[in-house]
A and B are shown apart, each in its own frame.
Chain A
């Protein structure tokens, strides 16, 4: 039995080697891996992103596979390298989580693969990479819309900001600060919250005591719903203008219609609120395919993926072809018209939605088009 230890060693090494020699999926000429966070704290938004990409890709001649990136950069890189190893990749649907994108951008540059994402983190398009294409209005756009609506439409002079201490939250908070200062309405209160915080009454009480006249939220889905509910319970007598998480049907579903009354939010789009025939068709198809309501992330990723398919339809066969198309073309999507600003920001419009307290479908009350002046 002296050979047993060596047998054990061989088993371990063989198991490791198995991943290399096991058959890969049949290769198509062109492939678009979908790398999205479908587990972890961003699973709700990540699933929307996945669904949007899937809906665009199903029925096309482009092969695709979905890889979960969870919430760590390490897993996102693993997924990227695994997907890139398959060959035939012309573009990658990249995760919306900012820290994962920051890790993937250098890799995308090395592989020369375009990343198509709906990540809102401002920094990803500040890195000077030619491979980042963001199909969701960045914080520069949506936070301007949120600040302007609060100040110009609701007359806020002393707003309070409550944000998440994640990359998403800190990025949005910085843009909100800048915009409010530019609008001569500096925030009188700011506080960051960890995603694990389950009771927002203390911070809402501090908001009330600060003398603020409007509450600007920049939180993830669950905390947004919690903040709205507890603000209503506290009797917080000021308008609430939330971040894009509030527009998600899943967020609204966490609240009673009465609790939603008067609450507004910024977002890139609100598919369930739109009345155009094209968007209604998208919404119906989405519901049939996934048995849930679409949100702006789904629609943004749908539009972005469709633009890649448009590039392929226009003759793109390599990542470089797709990148060139994304850098130069103008694409009329369902949510808005997309065009690169030279740094990969493709979306330049935002909307403000408000709930009327009767149901969970918000109304689009204000559209901010072409805020960057690119179009």
Chain B
């Protein structure tokens, strides 16, 4: 029988809810033509905890621990986004030492988050070794966090008006040691992956995200920088004390999976620089200003955003002058970044979908909230 006479048909594949490459609970309903993807429909909401509803029922200070759970890979940054929004609304001036500590912790957490990403991304593509290497260094950062606030994942470190604890004795030498060895470790990951022929074959020219699509789908963070746009909220609208530090914003060229990988690797180097400068310039003084337990902010609203490891994290807070927020709307990076997946993964092979999904660094609790 001639091959033209064979009957072919499209079929559906359910990827997830629990699939190793979805890093969380996300179901992708994929329409396939042989090995080729024709369309994707993401189903999210499995981790929906209605954090925005909870916020209406808690005081401003009580809500801080919930922000940790929005993005558990980068809790410090999630804390930072919320407290800066509340402080901006109420006009609270944070002591300089607290700002330095916040930036230091946020950047360390950015490195830790990127390390989780590189580990899981490599494992999705079949490279097991980088996973062990990356988690080895992440452990050092988690040790530093544990020394400071006793937690390893959900820190609840920042509070309205400053930070909850000062750094303990022995933190500084340990941090300096980490900063000394870490740049070499990044080179080590690069040695394992960057020019590895199999890795290149899996990532070069795959999942190209062009600029217009990125704009239309509001993609942010390393995912849009991979497409070549030098856009970083730390530089564009400096919050906290980011304007005091000297760092570069790494960008890619073509917007493929490999570019997004390279941007995140270079970001880890830049974050190391920021932490180095923060520890050198760390001033003395208080770590927080007193904010009463049943504190009432003035009536009003605020929109504030920061650069989290995955991109833009924004808070829109409406206050009615009571101790509880009237409404908090949280915009997270993964929410928009996941929407672009069906657009850029179409016509790729199903094996490439794993690489593309991994390269967007979507974290599902952030999508579902």
A binds B: no
